[in-house]
Structure 1
């Protein structure tokens, strides 16, 4: 992690204290559920005194609390207010929910809505089926664009040059034995997705996980999100998923896009 404020030190309007406070909140994750002050300082590349000031302020505001016995810090549910504020203000989520629900009912599988951030897709809506799914991805989870159906659906809707720039800037690590990492190969996959209107992914991010996705556009025909259906390999082959789920996902995405355009 870069030193907070390092890349914005020359900007007189940039508030480095706010950046440091947010860095502390972002440092907590599944691997660091609780931390000491020393842990916070190390995770955020701050001095221990800076970490102490940030943690003290966040604790006073109710975003962090200290366990009375272990004396380790952890996040409080108040942190979720920030994410909820985004979701409640996101018109796309409201517009998409009825269509996502309908798609989940028709397919009997879990349906998700993701939006792009940097070189990742962020889960913003989810309708979970009663059937088993191999991977749990709660709202707010982030997945890379290069090896996921939702990411590829979004990339396929961009100008080819822009999609290639994002792929080149991505850390295309091998997640499973099936992960495609070559730019040329992924660009070919994007071309196929562009022609069909939907993209697919078979066990490239997680084993047992397969998805089919289609991009959502705003009134300016700019891609703003992707809708995808989870088709576990325990129930589907790739050919079956593309044949049966592909057209349904595409129709759902088109319906959402048309509804978004109707609001403008």
Structure 2
């Protein structure tokens, strides 16, 4: 059972309460680590407690332990941030995943050919997780890199991945997400999102036209394994003022699909 950010590991809301094999202290430590984001690099004990629902005393112990192990530090003694050693936690996954290891040359070639930023992401809970990226320029106000996360429902890669989920799993996800109106063009209801996901599945790609951020367009396709399942998604992001939605379909989509077929060979 995966832990979603909205789940709390304290009190009656603990989904694992009563499981003798479940290590609550380890789970809390991981929740504390995941509280840090590109937008909130510095967090106090109180802020982490409020964000995770973990009592302040438990957060303090988690941070003390993580600090002793070299994963976090607080220069002023109050506001904590992650240390570079935290990257070692994700290195094992990236190093053991053929797609993440071998995709970079293909992404780099695609990025140079199109002169645009390209990424690969997988579905992790309700988010997409970036596992490979080649950037020609920064096109979002936040800086995306390997390990970055974004809400799946509001991104082109996320919608590709969601469109292939079994109905029961998709229903559960759509039942718990909070839809934020990021821009005037953001899909603003679950019903509309369902219709969009059906369209994505039928046409084989997702086009996000300034729904996550004004000025950003992106188009994504699935990376299929030999069994017909979707392992990840591949996308290209562009400046909306420079590349139209029609150009994304006519010029970028064929190259994206070619790259997806090449990368799919890694999934044998």
Whether the TM-score (by the shorter chain) exceeds 0.5 is yes
Instruction: Give CA-to-partner distance per residue, 1:34-70, whole Å, 9 cap, x none.
Output: 3444444444433333233222211111112231x45
For the residues of structure 1 that align with 2:267 and 2:117, how far apart are their CA atoms?
A: 22
- How far 1:103 moved relative to its partner? 1.4
Normalised by the size of structure 1, how large is the TM-score? 0.87
Q: 1:194 to 1:44 in 2, by over 3 A?
A: closer
Give the match for residue 207 of structure 2. Answer: 200
For the residues of structure 2 that align with 1:161 and 1:38, how far apart are their CA atoms?
A: 37
For the residues of structure 2 that align with 1:223 and 1:251, how far apart are their CA atoms?
A: 16
SS at match of 1:231: strand
Q: 1:128 aligns with which of 135, 138, 142?
A: 135
For the residues of structure 2 that align with 1:221 and 1:196, how far apart are their CA atoms?
A: 16
For the residues of structure 2 that align with 1:149 and 1:24, how far apart are their CA atoms?
A: 29
Q: 1:10 aligns with which of 12, 18, 37?
A: 18
Instruction: Give CA-to-partner distance per residue, 1:100-139, whole Å, 9 cap, x none.
Output: 222112211110001101122111111011x452343122
Give the match for residue 26 of structure 1. Answer: 34
- How far 1:31 moved relative to its partner? 4.8
Give the match for residue 59 of structure 2. Answer: 51
> Which is further off, 38-47 or 22-31?
38-47
Instruction: Give CA-to-partner distance per residue, 1:69-116, whole Å, 9 cap, x none.
Output: 455332211111112222112211123223222211221111000110
For the residues of structure 2 that align with 1:106 and 1:164, how far apart are their CA atoms?
A: 38
Q: 1:215 aligns with which of 205, 211, 222?
A: 222
Alpha-carbon RMSD: 2.3
Give the match for residue 246 of structure 1. Answer: 253
> Which is further off, 245-254 or 36-45?
36-45
- How far 1:163 moved relative to its partner? 4.2
Q: Aligned runs of 1:53-92 on 2, under 5 Å?
A: 53-67=61-75, 69=76, 71-92=78-99
Q: 1:54 to 1:223 in 2, by over 3 A?
A: same
Normalised by the size of structure 2, how large is the TM-score? 0.86
> Which is further off, 214-223 or 161-170?
161-170
Structure 1 residue 260 and structure 2 residue 267: aligned?
A: yes
Q: Rg bigger for which structure?
A: 1
